[in-house]
Amino acid sequence: MNVNSLFDLSGKTAIVTGGSRGLGKQIAHALAEAGANIVVCSRNIDACKEVSGQLKQIGVDSIACSCDISKKEDVENVINETMKVFGRLDILVNNSGISWISPVLQLPEEKWKKVIDVNVHGTFLFSQAAAKVMVKQGYGKIINIASIAGHGGTSPDVMEAIAYNTSKGAIITFTKDLAVKLARHGIQVNAIAPGFFPTKITKKVLEESNFDIALNIPARRFGNDTDLKGAAVFLASSASDYLVGHVLDVDGGITATA
């Protein structure tokens, strides 16, 4: 295979959870631009339909599905609809996630549980359901969206989001263990750990932080609307067929200074 064909996703089908906005939307566009048909799902069906329409203009097929990833029946409905429409599932991007900003001593228990339920349990549910299809196919790519916040502790001057950090740390370990379990079936599981990207989740952090975050990023800027595209296509394509359980930091150099 030449280099162009290694990255070609023509004829593949991808599910992108949380694909209606932010990083998920960026990734959905990237995979579509590489040729994949896209299933966009989130709790906001109107936003999903809007993104799905944009992707069709690129020249691929796309459908929109309503889904709360913490509910097994919703997850199974998306998988079933994907198979009904496209007959295959090649790529799953577990991007949906939530956060809650609060000092650790004041964090409400129900908010802790909600973040863990969506970010960790939801990722497990979707990965398990997708893997059942992929094992039968003998091929598949699962890409989990973690965060550099999952690598360790974060100063309270930068971010007070212990539930989010904990959930992303769990996603990193989940990625590695699931990758080892599924590699023999021709399925590669890897993760992307973004740094600071201006999204709905990070907006409050960036606005309220007592720390000049951008100044302390070696690249001296936040992530933009294209910075995840290459990483996503790489991990979704045949170019990463021998990459198993890897966490790709896309953070402008933050983790390089640790």
Which residues does the annotation mark as catalytic? 164
Amino acid residing at 142: I
Residue with tokens 């966009």: 40
Residues 167, 119 contacting (CB under 8 angstroms): yes
Residues 118, 43 contacting (CB under 8 angstroms): no
Q: Closest by alpha carbon to 151, among 138, 134, 170, 132?
A: 170
Query: Which residues on neighbouring strands pair with residue 16, listed in sequence order?
Result: 40, 93
Structure-token pair, residue 202: 């990070």
For residue 224, give Cα distances in angstroms to 198, 234, 245, 252: 8, 18, 25, 11
Residues 190, 146 contacting (CB under 8 angstroms): no
